[in-house]
């Protein structure tokens, strides 16, 4: 995609939506991590952000998305009762993909939107855009949110010696939500435990299984809260959004 279209392409098109009357997708929210890098002394999903648990921001966005019906949240074992009514709770696994698999076991719909609770700035528009695009593309197994890279990326080998400067036009910083055909994701997750544990996103497993994965350009504002600094930035962005 040419660079000049980027700033407009992650805003929802003004064209009317062509979503089915009934919600086409379910959602699985991965919220079972321990949040070690945040260092808040408890699971990241329940850390306070703008006066409420980090998880609640994502739950609100999915509740508002027209394309999504049932929502399943994978939380640390024992924290199931901390998931609000309106969403189902399951105990997550040792790795992110295992948590997603635990949630997926409860999904009955043909499409599933997988999202990290660590991305509280997700919007209902982005979720609906992703589902709509997958419905429009029967040849694809998944549509994933991703932001254009703005840094120059280099590859370096031994002693930090640069071996290559990557072509930035072809690189994307991948986010969630990632919307899948549920059968394709189930099949991709049915692989050996080491591969599952090593997967940094679910689309990677679908790609490895030969499925076509499409990128949907989205805003870098849909950031992932990993550190204290991210939490602070998310708080400022959400406050600005709430202020209109
Ligand atoms: N996650 C999960 N199950 C796991 C590990 C991670 O559901 N076993 C979820 C997290 O809750 C988070 C998302 O996957 O929403 C992305 O993971 P990450 O940002 O790494 O969160 P944590 O694993 O909680 O953080 P850390 O790696 O710093 O411990
Ligand atoms: Mg982690």
Q: Each residue of 169-212: pLDDT tens digit?
A: 999 999 999 999 999 999 999 999 999 988 999 999 999 999 99
Say what the pLDDT of residue 39 is: 95
Of the candidates 112, 133, 130, 132, the residue with the CA atom closest to the CA atom of residue 218: 130
Cβ–ligand 1 contact at 165 (below 6 Å): no
Q: What is the spatial distance between Cα 150 and Cα 173, in angstroms, rounded to a whole number? A: 9
Residue nearest to atom 25 of ligand 1 (CA): 35
Direct distance between the N- and C-terminal alpha carbons of the chain, in angstroms, rounded to an integer: 30
Pocket test for ligand 1, best of 27, 40, 44 (most atoms within 8 A of CB): 44
Give the model's confidence band at 213: pLDDT under 50 very low, under 70 low, under 90 confident, else very high. very high
Hey, is 142 helix, strand or coil?
Answer: strand
Hey, is 23 helix, strand or coil?
Answer: coil
Helices and strands per DSSP (H, E), number in the chain: 8, 11
Q: Domain ranges in the chain?
A: 24-242
Cβ atoms of 180 and 111 closer than 8 Å: yes
Q: What is the spatial distance between Cα 63 and Cα 101, in angstroms, rounded to a whole number? A: 21
Cβ–ligand 1 contact at 228 (below 6 Å): no
Quickly list H helices, 92-223. 96-104, 124-136, 182-189, 193-198, 202-208
For residue 6, list its beta bridge partners.
none
Pocket test for ligand 1, best of 105, 118, 122 (most atoms within 8 A of CB): 118
Cβ atoms of 103 and 72 closer than 8 Å: yes
pLDDT in tens, 29-75: 999 999 999 999 999 999 999 999 999 999 999 999 999 999 999 99
Give the Cα-Cα-Cα angle 215, 219, 220 (nearest 5 degrees): 105
Say what the pLDDT of residue 75 is: 98
Tokens standing for residue 209: 């299984």
Cβ–ligand 1 contact at 28 (below 6 Å): no
- Average pLDDT score over the chain: 93
pLDDT in tens, 87-135: 999 999 999 999 999 999 999 999 999 999 999 999 999 999 999 999 9
CB-CB neighbours of 103 under 10 Å: 28
Which CATH number does 24-242 carry?
A: 3.90.550.10
CB-CB neighbours of 205 under 10 Å: 23
Q: What is the spatial distance between Cα 210 and Cα 75, in angstroms, rounded to a whole number? A: 30
Residue nearest to atom 6 of ligand 1 (CA): 33
pTM: 0.94
């Amino acid at each position: 995609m040419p660079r000049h279209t980027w700033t407009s392409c992650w805003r929802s098109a003004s064209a009317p939506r062509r979503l089915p009357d009934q919600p086409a997708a379910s959602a699985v929210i991965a919220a079972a991590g321990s949040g070690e890098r945040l260092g808040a002394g408890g699971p990241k999903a329940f850390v306070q952000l703008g006066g409420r648990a980090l998880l609640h921001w994502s739950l609100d966005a999915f509740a508002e998305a027209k394309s999504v019906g049932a929502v399943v949240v994978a939380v640390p074992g024992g924290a199931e009762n901390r998931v609000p009514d309106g969403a189902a709770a399951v105990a997550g696994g040792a790795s992110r993909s295992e948590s997603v698999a635990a949630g997926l076991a409860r999904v009955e719909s043909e499409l599933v939107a997988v999202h990290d609770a660590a991305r509280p700035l997700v919007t209902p528009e982005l979720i609906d855009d992703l589902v709509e695009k997958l419905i429009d593309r029967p040849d694809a197994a998944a549509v994933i949110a991703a932001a254009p890279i703005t840094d120059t990326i280099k590859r370096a080998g031994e002693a930090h010696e640069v071996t290559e400067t990557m072509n930035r036009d072809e690189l994307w910083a991948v986010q969630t939500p990632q919307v899948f055909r549920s059968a394709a994701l189930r099949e991709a997750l049915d692989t050996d435990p080491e591969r599952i544990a090593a997967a940094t996103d679910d689309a990677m497993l679908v790609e490895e299984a030969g499925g076509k994965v499409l990128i949907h350009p989205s805003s870098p504002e849909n950031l992932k809260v990993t550190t204290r600094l991210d939490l602070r930035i998310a708080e400022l962005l959400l406050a600005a959004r709430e202020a209109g």
